[in-house]
């Protein structure tokens, strides 16, 4: 799998990999990029498997989830959370699964989830609940 937002990364994924790992895009853009990747791989015998890198804030209290996620992402990227917010869901596992369902419909099969929660255990449990909701959904 090759990741990246640029056209060059998508060309590389199409020519060399068996999938693309998207990040910071809408489900519509994800679908378009996935088609672009597969177009660059035309003629290759590939069983495509695409994914999405996504940060999530887990807490049933949406305000707490947002605040924790914002602190974490701003600490890593050193830019305001608002630049990422529309691509970074927060709240309950069910709310996050509903957000990710659009990416599933757009062709995402794997998610690399950077979960931010009150504890490591809460993050692991929350991601398991997200997965269960997506599988059931």
Residue 97: CB atoms within 10 Å: 21
pLDDT tens per residue across span 71-81: 999 999 999 99
Q: What percent of the chain has pLDDT over 70?
A: 100
Domain count for the chain, please give it.
1
Give the CATH number of the domain where residue 125 resides.
3.20.20.30
Q: Which residues pair with 23 in a beta bridge?
A: 53
Please determine, for residue 5, whether its predicted confidence score (pLDDT) is greater than 90: no
Residue 58 forms beta bridges with which residues?
A: 91
The pLDDT value given to residue 137: 81
pLDDT category at 128 given cuts 50, 70, 90 is very high
63 lies in which domain range?
A: 2-136
């Amino acid at each position: 799998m090759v990741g990246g937002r640029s056209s060059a990364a998508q060309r590389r994924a199409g020519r060399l990999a068996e999938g693309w790992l998207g990040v910071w895009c809408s489900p519509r853009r994800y679908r378009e990029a996935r088609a672009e990747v597969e177009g660059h791989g035309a003629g290759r015998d590939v069983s495509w498997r695409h994914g999405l890198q996504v940060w999530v804030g887990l807490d049933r209290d949406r305000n707490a989830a947002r605040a924790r996620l914002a602190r974490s992402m701003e600490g890593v990227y050193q830019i305001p959370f608002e630049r990422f917010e529309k691509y970074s869901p927060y709240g309950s596992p069910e709310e996050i699964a509903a957000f990710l369902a659009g990416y599933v419909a757009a062709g995402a099969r794997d998610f690399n989830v950077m979960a931010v929660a009150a504890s490591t255990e809460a993050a692991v449990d929350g991601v398991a609940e997200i997965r269960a909701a997506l599988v059931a959904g």
